[in-house]
Structures are given as structure tokens and as C-alpha cells.
């Protein structure tokens, strides 16, 4: 059995479950750190085990360009290449072709684009995306989709959605490995009507799991929540639901209450590399002078390696000096924060106290609203989480 | 007893010894990784323990500017601030003031300079350097010295040397902590006569250990060896001898045969961050396309974490993608290579087979001569190992 629901919140849509994959079982809701290019930025597999990461997310677009499928085949897949024995999910590359590729020409057949790395020309189709993902060998793979920008007009959003449905069918047809679960991706922008239509059409194709794509690309947070809630409710209750690209702490708590089971997001890791550290009260910036002489850890309640071992003053110093260790220590902290938050959420759902947990969390955690919104607004144009794979983003 | 010689090579000047410090005993000859700003670039204390690092080197100039002595005092010294419980040595800042500081005005009193970080003005004297180093609390500290550039004319080299002697006396007078060993630094450029004079004068001051400064600043390798050998022979045989800023594998083997006991050098760590990896046959560049599909480790004979865990192809990929993990994995490898080399050298000296070891090593290890020389030539102007603390050097 691929997915089993273990408990449900009687007062919200939240539920806990078990996702069974060839590389192990994962408790849901789950947050998946990004290993876009086969490495969670600044961490090694030992760090990831230590912080309790259950499942990582690789990317077909990036890994197809570098190191390329010949290398991945030599290693029999991404797991052995990157030294990660746990479950993996790969994204189809659809989002990245549109956000990172240059000189795109989109047709029903596929997308002609130039690599963001060397300008080389490639033609990505649903069939090729699935072939790449079969070579990568992740436990869960994604249908090839077209994600319309937030600014797109209604006809363009419909066109991208309908193409996504045709590509979903082709992805399904091409998929042969029965040790991989292929998920469909719901599109439809911020229109509840289109989301309903998209969910219905994809449900009929009977995927083992469903993702909600095309959110967190610049729309206001309230609208993202509304569409996430609406779409989650349209999806089969017995199958896992994956909200793509979402994952600030407050978004996780909110969207779990809609019945979302899986998340990925660059926010905790990218923010960490910019000195933004997650704490129970909200995000702090470790570069701030108030940490210069702070003997205590970044967060006294945190059990991560960084907080157990180093003072906030030392982490502050490493950041001020741009020492490479800084990025590893803060990434460990932020991922541990998010993973522990997920642990607590699952415990609260199981105990039947999730609504109280959510209320308490929302009352004590101060989201960095303005920042998040303006960042998200820039996200689409700048290429969302994939920008982080480019040369200088980690310094930005 | 601070230093005990344990065995001596009957056919060369090489010897093994034990250096006893308040934070533990170290076997010599020893290679000290640089923790210039309180962090060995890209590594954490656990990594350093795992690779067998015995003693680290901090820097008074850098730590005085950042985080500043107020912060270090809060932590009772550098050990607790950086989370390193083993022995530490700090350099006096003399070399850095001359290589990194701007708008220097040197007088007998001290050096007026502007910080390379923010342009703020500071006046560093032998007394202040010792005060800083007492606050840092390293087990071994260095006298404040003036290191003349390789290009300096003979009168300027003599002047810097004589000033170094006066500053050595003032450093001695100012030094109060008897749990720290203060080393004198021999100067005198590439003149054997000046080196003899400098060694004699400093010997009369009876330091517990002696460093050879002002080498590896652009002079040809053969000249560096000649002066190292000449100067080592002038120093008291019962006290530790430290050759500053030297540490390519072939330099270590050669200079140990002169009777040098201690080394520090940015080469293994900086080279690592540029993709240069040390192997028994010489340096390889992991960016090279021949590693693209290499399933085996970087060096099949290496026992480091990187070689035990990852393929050369994966390390190559991380470099090509500029993933942060790359710099940690290659730094671990290179430091482990150098530390194991020192282990083998000590064993060979103890066994009485050091000359054969040296011959075999020199016959199999291909030094990257041209590169080293041209790099060293640039070193002085660019600020030698300290450049690595500046913003972009690690990418260079």
C-alpha cells in the first residue's frame, strides 16, 4: 500500500499518514529539503540524517543538464550518485524550463529552450522528462507540466492548464517503472473554477498522488491559501497531496489544515544562507549587531547541532566574515526547525489537538509578511528555488 | 617540559618530538591548519577531529578586527568562542599588517594601518599584539615582527630584521601569561648572513621556541630550502622550530629533513577550494573532464570521509555546479592527505627510514612547480594566506 492515512483532525482537513516507498516509509505531513542538483546546499548526507530529513527533492531539468544522464546511468541512479539512501522525489523540469531556460518555444509537442548554464539548445517533452526521471530513479516522480506566470491572462492560464492535462496523459503513457509513483500536477492559476476543472480531469487519470502546482509564484498569500484549500478538497482523500514550492513555517501550518501532505520549498535553506534563522517567535537575522556578543545559542529551545554546539555570537561572526561554515550551520538550524515543526504538527494531529496547536503557533510565530510577499513577487521572474542553483544567488 | 625530542634521523636533521601544551600534547613534526578568523574554512570542529588535526592557527590581526577583543573576552578566549578544545597557536598580526593593512606608517613604536575590512585606523604595537594574543589565549603565541617583501633591497631587509629584534624584546617584556609559550621569529630575508645574525640575537633572548619568518613570500623554491636549512641549523636543537607559511607536500618533506618541527600553510585548504586535490602522485584538478564519470574515489588509497563516501564523479559534479558541499569535501581530503603524510614521516623518522621515505616520496610525488612558483610570486602582493579571508578569494 503506497499511502495510508493514520489519523485525521476532526475539526480541520489535517491528517497524518504513511508514505511507503522502495527506499523507506515516510510519515506525512512531510517537508522535503531541496537537493536540486543532487546536493542539499551546504549539507552532506550525514547532516541530513542527523536533522531527520525523510525525503529529498531532486530536479530533472538541472540533473539532465549537469551531470547529464550518462553519468547518472553509470551510478544506476541519483541515490548512489549523491550518497542518499532514503526516499527521493524528482520534479519534472516543467517549472524550471519556464523559469530558467532561455529562448523558449512552447508547442504541444514540448519546449525548446536554451540551457541557463551554457546556452546549449534542448527540447524537453513529457516523454523525455519521464525518461530522465526513470534514469534518476526517484521513488516519486512528477508529470511534465506548464506553469503559467501569476501575471498571465485568463486565456493563457487555461491554455497552460489544458496543455498540462495533455502532457499528464503522455507522462502516464510513457512511464514504465512500477517502483516509482508518478504524480499528476493540478494547474489553473488562481481561478477556483479552473482548479476544479483541472482536479477533475487529473483525477480521472488515476494518479497515485497529486500535486498542486502554479502557486507561490507571486500571488498574495491569502489567495494562495484559498486556492490551496479549494484544490486540496477537490483531490481524492485517500491519495497524498503535495503543494509544490510552499514552505514558510506559517504556510506549512496553514496548508496542513487544508489536508496537504507534502511540501517542498527553498525558503528555509535559502534564507539560512542569507542569515535568516527560524525561531519559535519568527525569523531573526543573525547578521544583526545584537548577536555580536550573545553567548547563548541562536534558539535555546532548538536541539540542532548548531544550537547545541555554537553560540549565536560565533554564528554571527562567521556570517560577518563570510566563512563557509556559516552556511552549513544555519542551513542545519533552519531545516531542523522545519522538520521539528512537522514532527509537532503530526503529534498534534494524532492527539486531536491540531487546531489548538495551530492557534498557538499563529499567535506566537510572527511571519515576515512584507518580506515574504515582495520576495514571492520577484520569485517567478527570478526563477524561484532554481535561482539558488545559479552562480551567485547564495550570496544575494 | 614544553618540548621533548623523541627520535632523530641519523642521516638528516629530521626529528620527532612531543609538544606539551595546556590543551594537549602534539606529536611533531606537525602541520597546523589555518583557522585565521576562528574557523578552518568550510570545516567544523568535528571534521577537524576526524581528520586528525592536532593544532590550529588563529590570527591576531583578523580576530582583533573581527569579532574584536570584547567578544573574545566574553568567551574567555578563542578556544571556547570557536568550539575547539585542542591546542591553538596565534600569529602576531605582523605579517598581516604588512600584507593586508592599507596606508601603513611603520615606526619603531609600531604600525599605523587601516583595516582591509572597513578602512578604520589602528595602531598595532608589539605590546598590543601580545595583549591581543593573551586575550585570545592560544597555547603558543608569536612575537610581533616585520616581514620585508622578497623584493626589498638589502638595507630595508636589515632594517626590518633589526626592528623585529627590538619588537621581540618588547613582546617578551609585555608577555605575562605563563600558560602560553611565546616564540621568537627569525627574519633576514634570503641572506644567510642576516639569518645567522637574527638567529643569534633571538637565541640570546631565550624563547621557548623559534619560528622562521619571511620565507615563501615569492623567492625561488631552492632559495627557500637553502635558507630554511641554514636557519634551522642555527637554532637551539632542544627547542621547537616553526617554518611559517610553508606547507606544500614536497616542502614539508624537504624542510622536515632540515629539522623543522612545525608548519602552517594555506596551500592545502585554498587549493582544495579551487578544486586542486592532493594525491600520492601529485595534485589533480577535480574540475577536469576525466573525472566526470569516475565511479571510484578521488584517491583509492585515502581514508578520508570524502574518499570513503563519494565518487570522484560526484565531487567533480559539485565543483562544476559550485555547490557549497564541494569546498568542505575537498578541504577534508587535502588536510587529511597532509596530516597522514606527517604521520608517515614521523613513523619513518622513528623507524630510522626517513631518508628512504623522502627519496621514495620525491620520486613518486610530482610537485606542481611552475604553478607553485608563480602563485608564490603573487602571494606577497596579494597577501598570502590572508587573502583567503577576503570576500571572493575562495572562488578565485
What are the pLDDT digits (tens) for A139-182?
Answer: 999 999 999 999 999 999 999 999 999 999 999 999 999 999 99
Place of cell 500571488: A219
Among A47, A139, A251, A264, the active-site one is A264
- Whether B385 is in a domain gets the answer no
User: Same domain, yes or no, for A279 and A228?
Assistant: no
Which of A39, A66, A313 lies at the smallest CB-CB distance from B325? A39
How many Å apart are CA A327 and CA A151, to the nearest integer? Answer: 34
ipTM exceeding 0.85?
yes
How many Å apart are CA B125 and CA A46, to the nearest integer? Answer: 46
User: Same domain, yes or no, for B148 and B285?
Assistant: no
Buried b / exposed e over B269-302, threshold 16 CB at 10 Å, is bbbbbbbbbbbeeebbebeeeebbbbeebbbeeb
In this complex, do A314 and B81 lie within 8 Å of one another by their Cβ atoms?
yes
User: Same domain, yes or no, for A285 and A251?
Assistant: no
**Residue-level pLDDT at B104:** 83
Give the helix/strand (H/E) hosting B88: strand B88-91
Do the Cβ atoms of A338 and A222 come closer than 8 Å?
no
**Nine cell digits for residue A110:** 514540448
- Whether B231 is in a domain gets the answer yes
How far is CA B391 from each of CA A323, B91, B386, rounded to the nearest angstrom?
9, 21, 11
> CB contacts < 8 Å between A and B, how many?
108
User: Same domain, yes or no, for A137 and A31?
Assistant: yes
HSE (side-chain half, CA atoms, 13 Å) at B25 = 10
Task: Let me know if B264 is a catalytic residue.
Answer: yes
List all residues 6 or more positions away from A53 whose beta carbon is below 8 Å from its beta carbon.
Answer: A32, A33, A40, A86, A335, A339
**What distance in Å separates residue A317's CA from the closest CA in chain B?**
6
User: Same domain, yes or no, for B316 and B251?
Assistant: no
Residues of B in contact with A39 (CB under 8 A): 318, 321, 323, 325
Task: Let me know if A343 is a catalytic residue.
Answer: no
- Please, is A344 exposed, middle or buried when counting C-beta atoms within 10 Å of its C-beta (0-12, 13-18, 19+)? middle
Pick from B236, B265, B294: which residue ends a domain?
A: B265
How many Å apart are CA A145 and CA B170, to the nearest integer? Answer: 73
Backbone angles phi, psi at B343, to 5 degrees: -55, -45
What string of DSSP letters covers A129-191?
Answer: HHHHHHHHT-SEEE-------TT--HHHHHHHHHHHHHHHHHHHHH---TTSEEEEEE--TT-
- Whether B384 is in a domain gets the answer no
Residues of B in contact with A82 (CB under 8 A): 314
Among B91, B145, B261, B299, the active-site one is B91
Task: Compute the radius of gyration of chain B from its Cα atoms.
Answer: 20
Model confidence at B384, pLDDT cuts 50, 70, 90, reads: very low
Model confidence at A99, pLDDT cuts 50, 70, 90, reads: confident
The predicted model gives A47-75 an average pLDDT of 98
Which of A39, A67, A318 lies at the smallest CB-CB distance from B39? A318
User: Same domain, yes or no, for B238 and B301?
Assistant: no
- Whether A378 is in a domain gets the answer no
**Residue-level pLDDT at A387:** 41
Backbone angles phi, psi at A13, to 5 degrees: -85, 0
- Whether A387 is in a domain gets the answer no
User: Same domain, yes or no, for A196 and A305?
Assistant: no
The CATH code of the domain that includes B224 is: 3.20.20.105
- Whether B29 is in a domain gets the answer yes
The three-class DSSP label of residue B20 is strand
How many Å apart are CA A72 and CA A75, to the nearest integer? Answer: 5
Kindly report the pTM of this predicted structure. Answer: 0.94
Determine the structural domain holding residue A85 and report its residue range.
3-265
How many Å apart are CA B129 and CA B148, to the nearest integer? Answer: 18
Per-residue pLDDT of B179-216, as tens digits, reads 999 999 999 999 999 999 999 999 999 999 999 999 99
- Whether B132 is in a domain gets the answer yes
User: Same domain, yes or no, for B242 and B133?
Assistant: yes
- Count the domains in chain B: 2
* Chain A residues in contact with chain B using a Cβ-Cβ cutoff of 8 Å: 37-39, 41-45, 66-67, 70-71, 74-75, 81-83, 292-293, 295, 309-311, 313-314, 316-318, 320-325, 327-329, 389, 391, 394
Which of A37, A71, A81 lies at the smallest CB-CB distance from B323? A37
The three-class DSSP label of residue B382 is helix
**Nine cell digits for residue B167:** 619588537
**Nine cell digits for residue B344:** 608517515
Residues of B in contact with A391 (CB under 8 A): 322
Pick from B265, B281, B301: which residue ends a domain?
A: B265
User: Same domain, yes or no, for A18 and A156?
Assistant: yes
Model confidence at A369, pLDDT cuts 50, 70, 90, reads: low
Which of B42, B67, B317 lies at the smallest CB-CB distance from A325? B42
Do the Cβ atoms of B272 and B248 come closer than 8 Å?
no
Which of A66, A292, A320 lies at the smallest CB-CB distance from B321? A66
User: Same domain, yes or no, for B251 and B351?
Assistant: no
**Residue-level pLDDT at B375:** 59
**What distance in Å separates residue B324's CA from the closest CA in chain A?**
5
- Please, is B173 exposed, middle or buried when counting C-beta atoms within 10 Å of its C-beta (0-12, 13-18, 19+)? exposed
Per-residue pLDDT of B139-182, as tens digits, reads 999 999 999 999 999 999 999 999 999 999 999 999 999 999 99
In this complex, do B324 and A323 lie within 8 Å of one another by their Cβ atoms?
no
Nearest CA in chain B to A325: B42
Residue to test with chain B: of A49, A71, A307, A391, most B Cβ within 10 A: A71
Pick from A265, A297, A327: which residue ends a domain?
A: A265
Among A18-32, A38-52, A345-359, B108-122, the minimum mean pLDDT is found in B108-122
Per-residue pLDDT of A310-324, as tens digits, reads 999 999 999 999 999
The predicted model gives B349-363 an average pLDDT of 98
User: Same domain, yes or no, for A46 and A144?
Assistant: yes
- Whether A381 is in a domain gets the answer no
Residue to test with chain B: of A297, A325, A386, A394, most B Cβ within 10 A: A325
Give the helix/strand (H/E) hosting B46: helix B45-51
User: Same domain, yes or no, for A233 and A279?
Assistant: no
**What distance in Å separates residue B100's CA from the closest CA in chain A?**
15
Amino acid at each position: 500500500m503506497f499511502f495510508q492515512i493514520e489519523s485525521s483532525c476532526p475539526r480541520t482537513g489535517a491528517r497524518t499518514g504513511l508514505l511507503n516507498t522502495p527506499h523507506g516509509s515516510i510519515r506525512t505531513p512531510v517537508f522535503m529539503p531541496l537537493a536540486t542538483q543532487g546536493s542539499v546546499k551546504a549539507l552532506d548526507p550525514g547532516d541530513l540524517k542527523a536533522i531527520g530529513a525523510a525525503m529529498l527533492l531532486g530536479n530533472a531539468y538541472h540533473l539532465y543538464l549537469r551531470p547529464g544522464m550518462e553519468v547518472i546511468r553509470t551510478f544506476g541512479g541519483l541515490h548512489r550518485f549523491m550518497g542518499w539512501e532514503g526516499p527521493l522525489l524528482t520534479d519534472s523540469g516543467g517549472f524550471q524550463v519556464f523559469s530558467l531556460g532561455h529562448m523558449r518555444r512552447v508547442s504541444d509537442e514540448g519546449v525548446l529552450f536554451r540551457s541557463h548554464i551554457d546556452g546549449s539548445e534542448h527540447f524537453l517533452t513529457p516523454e523525455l522528462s519521464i525518461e530522465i526521471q526513470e534514469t534518476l530513479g526517484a521513488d516519486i516522480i512528477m508529470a511534465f507540466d506548464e506553469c503559467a506566470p501569476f501575471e498571465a491572462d485568463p486565456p493563457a492560464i487555461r491554455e497552460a492548464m489544458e496543455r498540462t492535462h495533455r502532457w499528464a496523459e503522455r507522462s502516464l503513457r510513457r512511464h514504465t517503472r512500477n517502483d516509482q509513483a508518478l504524480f499528476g500536477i493540478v494547474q489553473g492559476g488562481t481561478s477556483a473554477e479552473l482548479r476544479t476543472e483541472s482536479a477533475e480531469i487529473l483525477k480521472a487519470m488515476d494518479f497515485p498522488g497529486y500535486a498542486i502546482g502554479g502557486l507561490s509564484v507571486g500571488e498574495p498569500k491569502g489567495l494562495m491559501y484559498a486556492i490551496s484549500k479549494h484544490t486540496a478538497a477537490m483531490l481524492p482523500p485517500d491519495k497524498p497531496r503535495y503543494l509544490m514550492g510552499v514552505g514558510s513555517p506559517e504556510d506549512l501550518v496553514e496548508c496542513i489544515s487544508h489536508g496537504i501532505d507534502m511540501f517542498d520549498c527553498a525558503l528555509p535553506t535559502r534564507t539560512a544562507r542569507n542569515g535568516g534563522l527560524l525561531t519559535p517567535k519568527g525569523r531573526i537575522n543573525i547578521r544583526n549587531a545584537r548577536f555580536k556578543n550573545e553567548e547563548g545559542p541562536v534558539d535555546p529551545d532548538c536541539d540542532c547541532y548548531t544550537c547545541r554546539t555554537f553560540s549565536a555570537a560565533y554564528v554571527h561572526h562567521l556570517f560577518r566574515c563570510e566563512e563557509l561554515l556559516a552556511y552549513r550551520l544555519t542551513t542545519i538550524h533552519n531545516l531542523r526547525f522545519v522538520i521539528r515543526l512537522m514532527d509537532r504538527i503530526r503529534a498534534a494531529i494524532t492527539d486531536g489537538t491540531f487546531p489548538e496547536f495551530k492557534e498557538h503557533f499563529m499567535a506566537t510565530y510572527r511571519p515576515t509578511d512584507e518580506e515574504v510577499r515582495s520576495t514571492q513577487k520577484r520569485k517567478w521572474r527570478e526563477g524561484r528555488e532554481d535561482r539558488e542553483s545559479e552562480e551567485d544567488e547564495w550570496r544575494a
